[in-house]
Amino acid sequence: MDRKGKGLRARRIQGGFTLVELMMVTGIIGILASIAIPTFMQYQARARQSEARTSLGSIFLGERVYFIEEGRYGSIGEIRYILTGANRYTYRSGQAGAAGGGNANVTAPGDTQDTINASVGTVEAQGATVAMASAMSFTATAAGNVDADSTIDRWTVNELRQGLQIAESNDITG
């Protein structure tokens, strides 16, 4: 019994957490955060990567429809591809016109547009695979930096739908 006539047990119930208990909880939360945050960042980067693959898949479908209608492949502007919302990738197709050719970096909307620049982050250069269009083939590319490091994420798609499964250079490691 203490001086006020209450038992030690009653006094213990009124008290809060000890400093040691609080420090242990803080340490456990820190350890969990150090494991969870990098994993979350990697999932976020993979989700951003799916943006490029989905958009290139849409460009592929637009090119196929344009080929059926016109007998040749076209530019982003000719296939009437419009990207809405914020995008982290720069998308490129071949030049407009019957002759086609390599990407001319035309960003103004209209039939001659062959490039849609990234609206979030930096505009990245093409990789080893160059965007191009001709009567019988096309290659569209997407390049972006999804996690602010030195590696650039680059994806491609062509008339055979090749390139959507394996990146030319993959920005996500592990």
Q: Which tens digits make up the pLDDT trace of 110-131?
A: 999 999 998 888 888 888 888 9
Residue 103 lies in a domain: yes
Number of structural domains (the chain) is 1
For the chain, percent of residues with pLDDT exceeding 70: 91
pLDDT band at residue 166 under the 50/70/90 scheme: confident
Is 65 inside any structural domain?
A: yes
DSSP state for residue 120 in the 8-state scheme: S
Instruction: Name the nearest CA neighbour of 132 among 58, 84, 50, 74.
Output: 74
Residue 43 lies in a domain: no
- pLDDT for position 65: 96
For 39-81, write each residue's pLDDT tens digit. Answer: 888 888 888 888 889 999 999 999 999 999 999 999 999 999 9
pTM, rounded to two decimals: 0.77
pLDDT on residue 173: 60
Mean pLDDT, residues 100-105 taken together: 90
Structural element, H or E, at residue 46: helix 19-70
> How many CB atoms neighbour CB 122 within 10 A?
14
Distance (Å, whole) CA 14 – CA 9: 9
Residue 164 lies in a domain: no
Tell me whether residue 27 is in a domain: no
Please report, for residues 59, 61, 63, the alpha-carbon distance to residue 79 in angstroms, rounded to integers and kept in the order given: 8, 9, 6
CB 128 within 8 A of CB 139: no
The parent domain of residue 121 ranges over 51-158
Nearest 10 degrees: Cα torsion 154, 155, 159, 160: 130
* Residue 165 counted as domain residue: no
Q: Is residue 167 part of a domain?
A: no
Q: Is residue 86 part of a domain?
A: yes
